[in-house]
Amino acid sequence: MPRGKRIVIERDLNDVYIEKYRAIDVDEIKKEQTAHEQSISSSVANVFKAAQGLYKQKTSEDDLEKRDLFSVQSAYEYLKGNGVYISFRAFGGRIERGTVPFVKVGRKRFIPKAVLDNVVGMKEDFYSVREAFSEYKKSNPIINYRAFIGRVEKGSVPSVKLGTKRLIPKDAVEALTHISDNYYSVSEAIKELHKKGIKIKRNAFERRLDRGRIPHEKVGGRRFIPDDVLDELVSKEIALRSK
């Protein structure tokens, strides 16, 4: 790159996706979910007492469902109908492990609607780690599952452990996908500059970032340069060379 003349790109970066990413508060999510689960536990306890009375009255399954108590099969169908796709065997496993609370009416298990609605709500707001990886890989095909897990473990991909499952907020995955589609990492930016015939060493490029001469965003401990910022940098470098 030509020496002696500075290129400074002035740009305010106001990316709503990245702002949503930064607003993710894992501790607050845990706190809210703990309070919600305590409320559900209290509700299940009340339902259990009512269920015993219903059993004595020999209430039918249809009547129980009207009272927001679902048989295992009906609960499974309810989840499927609300976009939660899981095998029946896996669902049964969750019930066995107690991660899906239930009450017993006679010898049969029933799941309160409040429990099912919580599962549906979690599905709307979170991905499992595998689901998050699959979604992110659509925009970043070169990443492998092991590398993604590493980012989750290091905290560069925010996650929260609720019960026995580690979940990733959908806002985080949406932001990471957006970044992958619209930003360059530092390595990618340098590679792109080299393709355009603009030679610069990594430490020199990073000094420009440090000094605020190239607008960028920092997400998960990594720096990213917007596509249009890099395009402007390339055009200015080429114009400077031609003088």
Numbers of helices and strands, H then E, in the chain: 12, 9
CA dihedral 75, 77, 79, 82 (to 10 degrees): -140
pLDDT grade for 4, boundaries at 50, 70 and 90: very low
Predicted confidence at residue 59, as pLDDT, reads 61
Q: Cβ distance 198 to 237 under 8 Å?
A: yes
Return the residue matching tokens 């440090």: 210
CA distances, 107 to each of 71, 89, 100, 104, 136 (Å): 11, 19, 17, 6, 44
Structure confidence at residue 194 as a pLDDT band (50, 70, 90): very high
pLDDT digits (tens, 9 = 90+) for 90-134: 888 888 887 888 877 777 888 888 889 988 988 889 999 999 999
pTM assigned to the model: 0.77
Listed ranges 52-56, 69-73, 104-108, 226-230; the one with the highest mean pLDDT? 226-230
Which of 3-7, 13-17, 146-150 is the least confident region? Answer: 3-7
- Cα–Cα dist 178/13, whole Å: 14
Q: What is the mean pLDDT of the chain?
A: 87
Predicted confidence band at 193 (pLDDT cuts at 50, 70, 90)?
Answer: very high
What is the spatial distance between Cα 236 and Cα 40, in angstroms, rounded to a whole number?
Answer: 59
More confident residue, 22 or 42: 22
| Eight-state DSSP code of residue 213 | S
150 or 66: which leads in pLDDT:
150
Predicted confidence (pLDDT) at residue 156 exceeds the cutoff of 90: no
Whether residue 243 has pLDDT greater than 70: no
In this predicted structure, the answer to whether residue 1 has a pLDDT above a threshold of 50 is no
Of the candidate ranges 81-85, 182-186, 215-219, the one whose mean pLDDT is the lowest: 81-85
